Amino acid sequence: MEKAFLGIDIGSISTKGVILDENNGILASEYIWTEGDPIQAVKKLLGLLEAGFDKSRYTIVGTGTTGSARKLIGTMVGATVVKNEITAHAVGTTTFYPDVRTILEIGGQDSKIILVENGVANDYAMNTLCAAGTGAFLSSQAKRLGIEVEEIGDYALSAKHPVSIAARCTVFAESDLVHKIQTGHAKEDIIAGVCNAVVANYLNNVGKGKRIASPVVFQGGVSKNKGVVAAFEKALHCPVTVDANGHLMGAIGVAILARGSKERREFDFSVENTDFHVRDASCGRCSNNCEIICVYRGDELIDSWGNRCERGSIRTKA
């Protein structure tokens, strides 16, 4: 049996999974919507991965999770590595693009920039806890304009006179956008304006004060939007590479981290048929009233977190 490694990236909007062999070859990959239910999404993802994967030839010996639900899903699938998405993206991208200097990433809730020198992540920035200028903004504006998120790119590229939209804050941008709609600007011009606003917001916030050197790789869900890619190229005056697997880079990175870690545990696809659920508990031992998340496999409590201090720790039977 040959060894394989599973990486799962569970974001607020989409859930990504890859299975890598020992030479970073992709054996299977899937990309689906999270739809507000990470546990169900991962079960579905694992079903899809299993169908496209040769179980008679490979065994999965290491599993990594990343993305905003990494802890929950890490518990659920018995991950050997649980890592934040910055590190996962940096590792994934530098493996495939050893000479990359700048990684731009815009996801559903977060945006980040990672600067790389000699193949090693050197500096980075992430949006503060506010989700302005991320995928969430693009999808809410698409809804307002009555189009699908996937269509934004084509609309934006056909624009002749992109309108200017306030880029500082999503709330300001939205009211500016409404005014532009009401004064009769063409839909494609407004959409192109929204793409420019996302880029301007990104460069003025996360990208502020950072020396963006070429080669530039752009990833995260928003990199699938041709309008934003074009806006970045115009603003940075250099080509911006979008890898065909760019949306999977977090999952790939965490699979590589799982391979690099010493921990080994055989992954069992049966989790997709096991009942997992989460219950909220209020600690109540002091006036912080910590909201504690309890994860159950069937009736068995397998993990819990969310407590600010020891008083709120819930012991698992294992």
Query: Applying CB under 8 A, does 118 fall inside the site for other proteins?
Result: no
Confirm if 51 and 174 have CB atoms less than 8 A apart.
Answer: no
Query: Applying CB under 8 A, does 73 fall inside the site for other proteins?
Result: no
Instruction: Give the pair of three-digit tokens for residue 58.
Output: 């490979």
Query: Applying CB under 8 A, does 244 fall inside the site for other proteins?
Result: no
38, burial (CB in 10 Å: exposed 0-12, middle 13-18, buried 19+): buried
Stretch that binds other proteins, among 125-133, 150-158, 174-182, 241-249 (CB under 8 A): 125-133
Which residues in the 126-155 window bind other proteins by CB under 8 A? 126, 128-130
Nearer to other proteins, 118 or 182 (CB): 118
Nearer to other proteins, 215 or 306 (CB): 306
Confirm if 42 and 15 have CB atoms less than 8 A apart.
Answer: yes
Query: Applying CB under 8 A, does 314 fall inside the site for other proteins?
Result: no
Query: Applying CB under 8 A, does 84 fall inside the site for other proteins?
Result: yes
State the minimum distance, in angstroms, from the CB of residue 90 to other proteins: 7
State the minimum distance, in angstroms, from the CB of residue 125 to other proteins: 8
State the minimum distance, in angstroms, from the CB of residue 118 to other proteins: 11
Query: Applying CB under 8 A, does 169 fall inside the site for other proteins?
Result: no
Nearer to other proteins, 115 or 149 (CB): 115
Nearer to other proteins, 84 or 158 (CB): 84
Query: Applying CB under 8 A, does 124 fall inside the site for other proteins?
Result: yes
Query: Applying CB under 8 A, does 286 fall inside the site for other proteins?
Result: yes
State the minimum distance, in angstroms, from the CB of residue 123 to other proteins: 5
User: By the criterion CB under 8 A, which residues form the site for other proteins?
Assistant: 68, 71, 83-87, 90, 110, 114, 120-126, 128-130, 209, 286-289, 291, 306, 308
